[in-house]
Amino acid sequence: MKRSTRRRINHAALYALLGAVVLVVVFAVDWASVRNNFWADGQHDNWRDLITTGVVNTARYTAIAFAGGLTLAFALALMKLSPIRIYRWIATAYVEFFRGLPALIVILVMAFGVPIAFQWTPPGGPVGAGVVGLIMVAGAYMAETLRAGIQSVPKGQAEAARSLGMSGPRTMVSIVIPQAVRIVIPPLTNEFVLLIKDTALLFVVGMLVGQRELTTIARDFMASGSTAGTATSLTQAALLYLIITLPLTRLVAWLEKKQQRAR
């Protein structure tokens, strides 16, 4: 048999397999039941709370956690690059510790463990404490990204700046960091997307009505409201998450491509 003929037969077989699977799914699945459970009538009543409270709070928690995490990460990255060994050790220990833990554990400890142990009322209640937990975890991940970004700036750049008489800190601020920022924007955007999704973990701490983020509201609508007893509100929350995250992941892909071309 000719090579090209064999290839054509192989392709036809793959298409046939796919068609068969699709047919089985279409006929075997009870579409009425799917619709009733995942897209029940009355889902319109849920949108308002999901968007005006859920999306808003998800965005708020993400923004706070990202800003806080980035600040922490920046301090950790500089510590990791410090000429003083003890600073490097502390930063390394911190990063390894928090990268090795599930974010959920950190959030629970911050929201319930720490307030009891130290008689401390976190600002914003358990949610505030949970966001602090997210900051601590995000800081550990982003610290590594920033350190790698700073170190990827060629050594000759700092040498040129120093040879012109610029001080170490001035060289960092004017020459190294501006170049590192360009390098780390795509991976940091990725961290941002991860953080958006991680705010869903905050549901474990329990929230006041006005504090609820997307996942919490979706869970509440499973218990009460016009789609109670179905997963409809989860489908809606999932759609809203995708509407936020998909453009961002596309943006990352575009930035990375642009950066590769610039090189």
Partner 1 sequence: MTATVTTSGSRAIEVRDLHKTFGKNEVLKGIDFHVDSGQVVCVIGPSGSGKSTLLRCVNRLEEPTSGRILVEGIDITDPETDLDAVRSRIGMVFQQFNLFPHMSVLKNLTIAQKRVKKRSTAEAVEIARRNLAKVGLAEREDAYPAHLSGGQQQRVAIARALSMDPDMMLFDEPTSALDPELVGDVLAVMKDLASEGMTMMVVTHEMGFAREVGDKLVFMDGGVIVEEGDPREVLASPQHERTQAFLSKVL
Pick the piece of the chain touching partner 1 (CB under 8 A) from 68-76, 94-102, 168-176, 196-204.
Answer: 168-176
Tokens of 8: 């054509």
Q: Examine residue 258 and tell whether it contacts partner 1 (CB under 8 A).
A: no
DSSP assignment of 133-174 equals HHHHHHHHHHHHHHHHHHHTS-HHHHHHHHHTT--HHHHIII
In the bound state with partner 1, the residue whose beta carbon lies nearer, of 100 and 165, is: 165
Helices H / strands E in the chain, number of each: 13, 0
Name the one residue in this structure whose structure tokens are 């039941």. Answer: 33
> Which residues neighbour 123 within 8 Å (Cβ) at sequence distance 6 or greater?
none
Pick the piece of the chain touching partner 1 (CB under 8 A) from 10-18, 60-68, 142-150, 178-186.
Answer: 178-186
In the bound state with partner 1, the residue whose beta carbon lies nearer, of 7 and 182, is: 182
Q: Examine residue 170 and tell whether it contacts partner 1 (CB under 8 A).
A: yes
Q: Are 152 and 128 in contact (CB under 8 A)?
A: no
Least Å from the CB of residue 80 to partner 1: 22
Closest CA to 51 of 185, 251, 186, 241: 241
Pick the piece of the chain touching partner 1 (CB under 8 A) from 31-39, 57-65, 154-162, 188-196.
Answer: 154-162
Q: Cα separation of 50 and 44, whole Å?
A: 10
Pick the piece of the chain touching partner 1 (CB under 8 A) from 20-28, 108-116, 158-166, 184-192.
Answer: 158-166
Least Å from the CB of residue 157 to partner 1: 6
Least Å from the CB of residue 179 to partner 1: 6
Out of 36, 179, 226, 245, the only residue in the binding site for partner 1 (CB under 8 A) is: 179
Out of 7, 35, 182, 258, the only residue in the binding site for partner 1 (CB under 8 A) is: 182
Residues 64-83 that bind partner 1 (CB under 8 A): none
Q: Examine residue 157 and tell whether it contacts partner 1 (CB under 8 A).
A: yes
Residue 82, SS3 per DSSP: coil
**How large is the angle between the packed helices 31-38 and 232-262, nearest 10 degrees?**
80
Q: Cα separation of 222 and 231, whole Å?
A: 6
Q: Examine residue 178 and tell whether it contacts partner 1 (CB under 8 A).
A: yes
Q: Examine residue 161 and tell whether it contacts partner 1 (CB under 8 A).
A: yes
Q: Cα separation of 149 and 111, whole Å?
A: 33
Out of 164, 209, 239, 253, the only residue in the binding site for partner 1 (CB under 8 A) is: 164
- Measured in whole angstroms, the distance separating CA 24 from the mean position of its chain's CA atoms is 36
Least Å from the CB of residue 165 to partner 1: 3
Out of 52, 152, 167, 259, the only residue in the binding site for partner 1 (CB under 8 A) is: 167
Tokens of 99: 């990268």
Q: Examine residue 260 and tell whether it contacts partner 1 (CB under 8 A).
A: no
Which residues here bind partner 1, judged by CB under 8 A? Answer: 154, 156-157, 159-167, 170, 174-175, 178-179, 182, 262
